[in-house]
Structure 1
Amino acid sequence: MTLTLLPEATYHRVPVAAGVELNVAVAGSGPAVVLLHGFPQTHLMWRHVAADLATDYTVICPDVRGYGDSDKPAEANQETYSKRTMAADVVAVAKALGHDRFALAGHDRGALVAIRAGLDHPEAVTHLLALDVLPTLDMWDVLKGADAKVAWHLYLMAQPAGVPEPMIQATADTFFASFLDGWTNSPDAIPAVYREAYLEASAGAVPSIVADYRASAGIDVAHDQADRNAGTTLAMPVTVIQQDWGAALGYDARALWSAWAPRLHHTTLNSGHFMAEENPAAVSHALRELMKR
C-alpha cells in the first residue's frame, strides 16, 4: 500500500545538492509553509496538519535528507548531515518550488533543522514553529546524571562510525518501535499502517539516521556555540510547543528558548511527543496564530 500525505498532494523529486534529491509532497495554494518531520518518521506525520493548512496555504512536506524516500548520501564527514546542510536543503526545496520566503515548522529532528534554517537564512524564513525540542547546544547542557537516561539514544548514535550502526540494524524494528510506542500518550494516534511505514523507512536508513544524530553531538554544537558567541538569534516570530518535561528535568525551557528567540511565544501541551499526530488541531491552530504575528 502506498501512503500519501493527502489524496490531492503532488510529489516531486527536488535536487538540493550535487547527487542529492529530496522526496517532497505539495498540497494547497497560497503562501508557503514548509513542514519538517521528526524521528523516526517521514513527511506522513504531517497528514492531519497539512489537510487543515492546505485550505489557505501551499504546504510543502519533504522527507529530510537521509530519511523516508529522500536520498541518503554516504557520510563523508559531519557536514554531510549537519543541520546547516539540511537547512540549506530546505531553502533549496522552497526556491525550486517558487518560494523565496516561507513559514517553517519542524518536529523533533526537523525542528533542529528548522532552527538552523532560521539562524542561517533569516531572509527566507518568515515564521518558525518548533515542536518538542530544545536547541542543540541547550539540549546537551541540560542532560545530566541519571536523568540523561531518557536520551540514551543520543549517546548511542553519537559514537564513531561503525559502532552504533550494526547494533541498531540488528534489532531495527525493536529499536525504532520503542520510540514510536514509548513517546506517545495516545497509541491510536499512529495507526498501524503508518507505524509500519515509519518502521520500514527507518530500518532502511540506519546509516543516515545515525549520521544525523552523530552530527548533533559534534558539528551542530560547534555551529550553535559560534552563534551564541556572536549573539546571533532568530529574527522572525517563533512559537515553541513542548511537553512539560523541562520541569521534570530541572530546567526552565522558556528561559533557554528566550535566549535564542527574542520574539518568542512558548507554551506546553498535554500531549505525548508526537504532537502533530496526537493533537493536530492544537498544532494547526498554533501555526495559524504564529503566521498572524
Structure 2
Amino acid sequence: MLAAIDWSAPWLAPWRARGAAVAHSVRSGMAQTAALNEAARAPVRFVPQSALPSGVAYEQYIFDTGRVPTRDGLHDFFNGLVWHALPLTKQRLNALQAAQIERTGVRPVRGPARDALTLFDENAALLQAPDALWQALVAKDWPRLFGDLRPLWREAQLLLFGHALMEKLVAPRKSMCAHVYRVLAAERSMDSIDAWLAQDLSADQLAAKPFAHLPVLGVPGWWAANENPAFYQDVSVFRPPRARDTGHEVTTQLVRRK
C-alpha cells in the first residue's frame, strides 16, 4: 500500500524526505515497525499490534510503556511519521488521553474530551496564517477565502497533522476535509510548531472544538482544478454556514482503534 503514496503531492512536501526513506525501507522488505524504529527520532518504539494486551486501551499502553502498537499499512505508517516529526505534540496528546482514562475509565462511548483528542490526532491540519485568512475560514466565507484573499495564501502554511487525513489523501477526493487548528508559533519549522503545540493543547480547550472546517483540495497550489473559480461553487463541499454554526464547532466521524 505504501507504493500508492505520491510523494510529489504538495501536502506531503513537509513529510517527503523522512517519509519516502521509511517507505523505501518497507518496500525493500523491512518490517514496518523496524523501518520506523530505524528512523530513530521518535521518543517511542514501534511494536507489532499483537503486543497490545487484550483489554488494555491503546493510549494507556503507549503512556505506560513508551511503545506504539503498529499495524502494517498506510494508517499506522503516517502515524509513525507524525511521531517522528512532532514528538512533543504526540506525547502531549497521549498524556491527555491517559489522564482522561484515569479520570473516567474506558467507556463504550468516549466523552467529549477524548473524542476531541482523537479527532485532533486523526484529522487535524495546522494553519499559520494572517488574521483575515483565518477569519474568512472560520466564517466559511469561501468566495473571500479563495477569491479576494487568495494572494494571502502565499503568507500561510498549512501542515497536515492527522494521520487518518494523510491516509485518505493517498486517494484524494474533493470532499476530503480537515479540522484546522490555528498555530501561533513564531516560526514555521516543525520543531517550533511542535514545541508551541505541546504547550498550547489541553483537553478542555479541544473539547470546545476550536476547529475550522476546510476542504483541503481547495488550498491554492494543492489541486490544479481549483484554479477555476467554479471549483468552489460546489455547495456539497464548500457548504455555506448554518444559522446555528459558531464558526468553530464541527463534527466528524472519528477513526477508532479496534
Q: TM-score range by the shorter chain?
A: under 0.3
Q: Which has the larger radius of gyration?
A: 2
TM-score computed with the length of structure 2 as normaliser: 0.27
